[in-house]
C-alpha cells in the first residue's frame, strides 16, 4: 500500500498552522509538515500541534485525520535561536495527549501571521512562507 501513496509535503510558521486544517480535510493521504519555530515559538508550535491533534472534534473528524495522516518536524535556523529545552518525541506525544488545551481556539484567525519570537528578534520568515 505504501508504494501507492503520495505524501504531500509543506512548510509553515507557527502563525500559519490554522491553514493545515484545509489540507488534512482535502488531501486523502499522508502529509508531512515542517514548522519553522525558533526560540519561544517552538513551545507555541507544540501547543498548536497538540490542539490540531486533540481539540478539533467536529463532524469531519478533523483531529483524528490530523493524528492519522499528519507528521510534524519543527525546524530552527542553523543552530540559532534554539529553545531552552527541546523535547523528545515521546515527551511531546505524552504531554500533548494529556494536556491538550482545548479551552480556547489556538488557531483563531486574527492571530498575527509572523510568530511573536520572529517579530521580536527581527527574524525574516519570507523565505519559508
Instruction: Say if 26 falls within a structural domain.
Output: yes
The angle subtended at Cα 122 by Cα 22 and Cα 70, nearest 5°, is 25
In a domain, residue 126? The reply is no
pLDDT band with cut points at 50, 70 and 90 for residue 119? low
Q: How far apart are alpha carbons 109 and 78 in whole angstroms?
A: 30
**Domain carrying residue 113:** 2-120
* Beta strands in the chain, from DSSP E residues, in sequence order: 8-13, 31-36, 70-75
10 exposed, middle or buried (CB, 10 Å; 0-12, 13-18, 19+)?
middle
Q: Give pLDDT tens digits for 98-118.
A: 667 787 776 665 555 555 655
**Is position 115 within any domain?**
yes
In a domain, 129, yes or no: no
Specify the number of domains making up the chain.
1
Q: What is the pLDDT of residues 6-30, one digit of tens each?
A: 999 999 988 788 889 999 999 989 9
Whether 41 maps to a domain, the answer reads yes
* Residue 81 belongs to a domain: yes
pLDDT-based confidence at 89, cuts 50/70/90?
Answer: confident
Q: What's the pTM value of the predicted model, to 2 decimals?
A: 0.76
| Among 11, 15, 12, 14, CA closest to 111 | 15
* Whole-Å CA distances, 9 to 29, 40, 109: 11, 24, 23
Amino acid at each position: 500500500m505504501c508504494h501507492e501513496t503520495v505524501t504531500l509535503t509543506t512548510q509553515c510558521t507557527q502563525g500559519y498552522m490554522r491553514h493545515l486544517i484545509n489540507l488534512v480535510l482535502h488531501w486523502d493521504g499522508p502529509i508531512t509538515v515542517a514548522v519553522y519555530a525558533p526560540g519561544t515559538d517552538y513551545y507555541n508550535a507544540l501547543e498548536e500541534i497538540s490542539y490540531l491533534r486533540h481539540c478539533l472534534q467536529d463532524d469531519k473528524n478533523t483531529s483524528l485525520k490530523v493524528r492519522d495522516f499528519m507528521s510534524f518536524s519543527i525546524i530552527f535556523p542553523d543552530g540559532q535561536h534554539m529553545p531552552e529545552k527541546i523535547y523528545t518525541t515521546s515527551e511531546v506525544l505524552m504531554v500533548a495527549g494529556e494536556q491538550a488545551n482545548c479551552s480556547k481556539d489556538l488557531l483563531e484567525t486574527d492571530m498575527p501571521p509572523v510568530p511573536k519570537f520572529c517579530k521580536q528578534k527581527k527574524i525574516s520568515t519570507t523565505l519559508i512562507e
